[in-house]
Structure 1
Amino acid sequence: MNLLPGVFVAKKKDGSTYYRSSITFRNKHISIGSYSTNEQAHQAYIEANTILTDSSIYIEDYDTSTPLLTLSKWIVLVNFRDNNIYFKNPIYIKEKYFLYYLDGKTILKFDVDDLFYYSNHKIQKRGGHLFVSDYGMQVSILSRYGIKNYAVLERDYQFANGDPTDFRYGNVQIINRYHGVNRIQHKGTFIYVAKIHLNGDYIIGKYKKEEEAAVAYNKAVHILQSKGFDKNFPTNYITEIDEIEYAKIYNMVKISKKIREYLPIF
């Protein structure tokens, strides 16, 4: 069989034949994809070569009706042509940030500080959550901002410009950083409410400072545990204050009478 330019023959485990397409550009060998026919693989090679050599072709020109190239591969090729940096993931570098194309409609923005990480970690979406696979575990991309897995948008964190696809650090604002602590508006200012879940939500107290509410939550956990309550509550690690300040707040912070007098049911 005469293989067309850019095409290589390969075998599946069952012995059947398929065709791989690849191209070399700026001394970089790039795999384009696998195809069922020699002609399809060659046509994909032609399309890839056209993208790499014609700067008038943009990401927006991708045609879903004849997808010999995946959208991801199209983006990879356009970025390599324009920025001379090859990534396996669908990234396009802008002047001060980069775009990550989750799909044709969802385009995420990140600071260049995250470029190395996301060039090596593929972003996936499941159940509305964005995550990467890291050491065999699914890790939420929000964890890079110190946002907990159970965090709720607009309650625990928000996007400053209202764009939930803009993950640049200056745009992601944490509202509630600690377990059991919620920020609420009260009489024109913000206060912090500490709650703990027993057989329902119990208010521990209301506090002027976030750190006070976080310490109050920890203290409530210790009170309940001293009463024999064996639920495995998470506790807060508070980096903004030292051990002396923590002990001072812990001793002075007031805890709801309902918590202090709560008796677990065994």
Structure 2
Amino acid sequence: MLPGVYSAKRKDGTIYYRSSITYKNKHISLGSYEYEEEAHQAYILAGEVLADSNTYTIEDYPEKSILDFSKWVTLINYRDNGIYIKTPIYLKKKFFLYYIDMNTPLTFDIDDLFYYSTRKIMKRGGHLFVAEYGMQVNILSRYGIKNYGVPGRDYRFINGDDSDYSYNNIEIINKYYGVTRFNTKGQTRYLTKVHVNGYYIIGRYDTEIEAAIAYNKATLLLTNKGLLKDFPKNYIDEIDEITYASMFQKVRISKKFIEYVNSLNID
């Protein structure tokens, strides 16, 4: 068997070849291949990458490489920084880069290293998510951004770089369900809407908390009327239960919306 290669059998009995290399006393699996020579070439290339930091960088990834790009990043990070990470992360001094692909590195604070070193970021339909207990979790949820969040409306990247997920680069504009911040005559106010066969305006409020509570009150009216829709609830950490109950009772909602709720005839 060629160096760095060993054979294995699939469940159907067919043989394939696995490639691996040992570096700094660390046994590193490089991948599985149909042919022994391919596995050997992966071993040779990995050895060249690990041998000298001046030989290859992440940007030098060959167009038709025998190594997976994720493994390429892992090897170079281990070579340069001495820390083996299974996911495609390259460490910097106070942050790290997570490579979705060769042209898409995402920047994260070093505080998030443990989280992303054990989770693969996937991209689908323009959204970035990780797998959590069998569920797809949008990475924006780590910043308190709801799944429906729209960039520029509900949150923004302060430096204009939408690949920079540093905590100090993300500003949350609208953090509650059904609430949108707007400016009128130089003042900041908050608009509350609920979606039921179209959007219904619940009201305009001076504070974000009032607007969030108004949303909860409006959706509770719909639920009590028998509307079978799973409305999300706004959880407000800034106030205690007594204050919440008082504000819930006092907050006013649109008469037009109340008339709509009363007109519903749900069996």
Percent same amino acid among aligned pairs?
60
Q: Who is 2:159 aligned against?
A: 161
Query: Could you say what secondary structure the match of 1:235 adopts?
Result: coil
Deviations 1:171-195 (A, max 9, x none): 1221111111111122223210011
Describe the shift of the 1:13–1:251 C-alpha distance in structure 2 as closer, same or farther (beyond 3 A).
closer
Matched, 1:59 2:78: no
Separation in structure 2 between the aligned mates of residue 64 and residue 50 of structure 1, nearest angstrom: 17
Q: Who is 1:69 aligned against?
A: 67
Assess if the C-alpha contact under 8 Å between 1:75 and 1:91 holds in 2: yes
Greater shift, 131-140 or 230-239, is seen at 230-239
Please state how far the C-alpha of 1:227 moved relative to its aligned partner.
4.4
Deviations 1:81-140 (A, max 9, x none): 111111111100011111110011111111111111111111111111111111111111
Separation in structure 2 between the aligned mates of residue 198 and residue 20 of structure 1, nearest angstrom: 55
Separation in structure 1 between the aligned mates of residue 111 and residue 103 of structure 2, nearest angstrom: 24
Assess if the C-alpha contact under 8 Å between 1:224 and 1:259 holds in 2: no
Query: Could you say what secondary structure the match of 2:190 adopts?
Result: strand
Q: Who is 1:254 aligned against?
A: 252
Matched, 1:103 2:80: no
Q: Which runs of 4+ in 1 moved over 6 A?
A: none
Greater shift, 83-92 or 222-231, is seen at 222-231
Describe the shift of the 1:76–1:230 C-alpha distance in structure 2 as closer, same or farther (beyond 3 A).
closer
Paired AA for residue 264 in structure 2: P
Separation in structure 2 between the aligned mates of residue 160 and residue 89 of structure 1, nearest angstrom: 27
Paired AA for residue 265 in structure 1: N
Q: Who is 1:264 aligned against?
A: 264
Assess if the C-alpha contact under 8 Å between 1:21 and 1:45 holds in 2: yes
Q: Who is 1:42 aligned against?
A: 40
Separation in structure 2 between the aligned mates of residue 209 and residue 145 of structure 1, nearest angstrom: 21
RMSD of aligned residue pairs (Cα, Å): 1.6
Assess if the C-alpha contact under 8 Å between 1:76 and 1:91 holds in 2: yes
Separation in structure 2 between the aligned mates of residue 104 and residue 53 of structure 1, nearest angstrom: 22
Paired AA for residue 190 in structure 2: Y
Please state how far the C-alpha of 1:225 moved relative to its aligned partner.
4.0
What pairs up with 1:194-209 in 2 under 5 angstroms? 194-209=192-207
Describe the shift of the 1:265–1:76 C-alpha distance in structure 2 as closer, same or farther (beyond 3 A).
same
Q: Who is 1:172 aligned against?
A: 170
Q: Who is 2:12 aligned against?
A: 14
Separation in structure 1 between the aligned mates of residue 71 and residue 223 of structure 2, nearest angstrom: 55
Paired AA for residue 112 in structure 1: I
Separation in structure 1 between the aligned mates of residue 182 and residue 47 of structure 2, nearest angstrom: 56
Paired AA for residue 211 in structure 2: A
Assess if the C-alpha contact under 8 Å between 1:23 and 1:49 holds in 2: yes
Paired AA for residue 255 in structure 1: I
Paired AA for residue 96 in structure 1: K
Paired AA for residue 265 in structure 2: I
Separation in structure 1 between the aligned mates of residue 44 and residue 248 of structure 2, nearest angstrom: 69
Please state how far the C-alpha of 1:241 moved relative to its aligned partner.
1.2
Count of paired positions: 263
Describe the shift of the 1:246–1:62 C-alpha distance in structure 2 as closer, same or farther (beyond 3 A).
same
Instruction: Tell me the TM-score normalised to structure 1 length.
Output: 0.93
Assess if the C-alpha contact under 8 Å between 1:228 and 1:264 holds in 2: no
Instruction: Tell me the TM-score normalised to structure 2 length.
Output: 0.93
- Where does the alignment leave 5 or more consecutive residues of structure 1 unmatched? none
Greater shift, 43-52 or 30-39, is seen at 30-39
